[in-house]
Amino acid sequence: MAANFHIVTDHISKDLRLKLDGDFDGTSAFELIHVLKKVGRRKRKIIIDTDGLKRIYPFGRDTFWNNLGRATVADRRLVVTGKNDHRLAR
């Protein structure tokens, strides 16, 4: 994982907001997937806020989307927001 990467979780009613901070690489992608699988399954909507990301490596973005799996977010809406949303979104 990028040494400066971390995720802040904020539970808003039936939704989950994940604030990403630091650099997003391949290991960071797997950490995000782990959080989604652990916490996200109980939430209706998952919001990924990218405002705190400094660098998004293409390998990290691809690793995230290729390993996320439909079952992780099935029946839930995954929303990528923030100033870096276009760099993380597929």
> What was the pLDDT predicted at 43?
79
How far is 38 from 23, CA to CA, in rounded Å? Answer: 22
pLDDT on residue 50: 96
User: How does residue 71 score in pLDDT terms, banded at 50, 70 and 90?
Assistant: low
CATH number for the domain spanning 20: value is: 3.30.750.24
* pLDDT at residue 73, rounded to an integer: 62
Instruction: Determine the structural domain holding residue 18 and report its residue range.
Output: 6-88
How many structural domains does the chain have?
Answer: 1
Specify the pTM.
Answer: 0.86
| 25 close to 61: Cβ distance less than 8 angstroms | no
Range 22-30 average pLDDT:
96
Q: Is residue 1 part of a domain?
A: no
pLDDT reported for residue 72: 60
Residue 27 has φ and ψ, to the nearest 5°, of -70, -35
> Is residue 15 situated within a structural domain?
yes
